[in-house]
């Protein structure tokens, strides 16, 4: 079975999935550190994307980055913490060593903190 990349965003202030979070996915060139944008998406009502961000041959060995627009999300749900948010665009850079494996990148977030890990 081919591998896939998925994500999930949880709003830890409200204790629910974070719906409507804008996310950008980039592939990172290992020699120049330049980013190639592969996708721009939003989370659905369950805090997930409607399908995998990458799957099959599109998921390749390499370095990727997800950028979560937390500042816009928390402003939209009435939890903006300042005119200039403490956390705005949150990048998560990670490596894919085995493109046949599943990579799930959950983000647990508040206006002041976030945590991520390799999920299942």
- Per-residue pLDDT tens over the stretch 84-105: 899 999 999 999 999 999 999 9
Sign of CA dihedral 19, 21, 22, 24: negative
From residue 103, give the alpha-carbon distance in Å to each of 10, 22, 68.
Answer: 17, 19, 17
- Per-residue pLDDT tens over the stretch 35-77: 999 999 999 999 999 999 999 999 999 999 999 999 999 999 9
Residue 23's pLDDT band, with cuts at 50, 70 and 90, is very high
Q: How far is Cα 113 from Cα 119, in angstroms, rounded to an integer?
A: 19
Its CATH class, for the domain covering 4-116, is: mainly beta
Token readout for 49 is: 């994307």
Strands 35-42 and 4-11: unpaired
């Amino acid at each position: 079975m081919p591998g896939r990349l998925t994500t999930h965003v949880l709003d830890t202030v409200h204790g629910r999935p974070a719906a409507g979070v804008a996310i950008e996915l980039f592939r990172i060139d290992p020699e120049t550190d330049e980013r190639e944008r592969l996708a721009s998406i939003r989370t659905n009502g369950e805090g997930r994307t409607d399908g995998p961000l990458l799957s099959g041959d599109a998921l390749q060995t390499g370095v990727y980055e997800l950028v979560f627009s937390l500042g816009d999300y928390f402003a939209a749900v009435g939890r903006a913490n300042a005119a200039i948010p403490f956390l705005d665009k949150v990048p998560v850079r990670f490596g894919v060593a085995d493109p046949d494996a599943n990579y799930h990148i959950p983000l647990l977030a508040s206006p002041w903190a976030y945590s991520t890990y390799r999920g299942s």
